A and B are shown apart, each in its own frame.
Chain A
Amino acid sequence: NAGVTQTPKFRVLKTGQSMTLLCAQDMNHEYMYWYRQDPGMGLRLIHYSVGEGTTAKGEVPDGYNVSRLKKQNFLLGLESAAPSQTSVYFCASSHNERASYGYTFGSGTRLTVV
């Protein structure tokens, strides 16, 4: 049981390049989330999904797009990377909207945009 798996773990992009971060969970969770973590700012929600085929904006969605074509996968895309998107990205999932058992986080992706 792998839980929540994120790929890649590290990436360096040049300004203007694009990339996709993959999040996969094997817990049959309905809800999935993408967060970014920056020093002094905690975890901020980028986008989330409440089920296959659905997505919604979080607190800081600009510059990112997401897709949830399959229940187990939640993709985060950067169409034209900017240095301000240098961050650590975490995917998370939860069983239901109340997350009675809390989130399960992935191991994170450290992205540097130069």
Chain B
Amino acid sequence: GENVEQHPSTLSVQEGDSAVIKCTYSDSASNYFPWYKQELGKRPQLIIDIRSNVGEKKDQRIAVTLNKTAKHFSLHITETQPEDSAVYFCAARPLSGGYQKVTFGIGTKLQVIP
């Protein structure tokens, strides 16, 4: 099955700096890569996603890049703000199988220091 590795597990940045979280996946058939943000005590929420036919996608201060050859994708947050502090999960979905199977990474706890 799919294996998604995520790093770092924790990340501290100064407010205004950029943060980068990286994930690798094992199944070359995966074609959909969402990112979720989970604030303390809250539910995970989708913040951005990318499909295998796209190399980069941006939404204001967040962007995701995908390298299918190397099987890795990354989340980039620019001009970080305290409200960006949360746990971020990457995920990958393989094409194989008749039903959806999303494999999540273990999460990255991002702390933005004011």
Which residues of A are interface residues toward B (Cβ below 8 A)? 31, 40-45, 48, 50, 56, 90, 94, 96-99, 101-103, 105-108
- For the residues of B in contact with A, the DSSP-based class is loop
Given that A42-B104, A97-B99 are contacting pairs, would A107 and B42 also be in contact in the complex, using a CB cutoff of 8 Å? yes
Residue of B nearest to A110 (CB): B41
22 A-B contact pairs sorted by A residue (CB < 8 Å): A31-B100, A40-B106, A41-B106, A42-B89, A42-B107, A43-B44, A43-B104, A44-B104, A45-B102, A48-B99, A50-B99, A96-B100, A97-B99, A97-B100, A98-B32, A99-B32, A103-B34, A103-B36, A103-B46, A105-B43, A105-B44, A107-B43
Q: Is there a chain A Cβ closer than 8 Å to B14's Cβ?
A: no
Taken together as a complex, chains A and B put the C-alpha atoms of A108 and B101 apart, in Å, by: 20
Given that A43-B44, A90-B43, A90-B44 are contacting pairs, would A99 and B102 also be in contact in the complex, using a CB cutoff of 8 Å? yes
Taken together as a complex, chains A and B put the C-alpha atoms of A44 and B43 apart, in Å, by: 15
Q: Is there a chain A Cβ closer than 8 Å to B52's Cβ?
A: no
The interface bits of chain B over 28-42 (1 if a CB of A lies within 8 angstroms of the residue's CB, else 0) are 000010101000001
Which residues of B are interface residues toward A (Cβ below 8 A)? 6, 9, 32, 34, 36, 42-46, 49, 89, 93, 98-102, 104-107
Residue of B nearest to A38 (CB): B106
Chain B residues contacting A44 (CB-CB under 8 Å) are 104
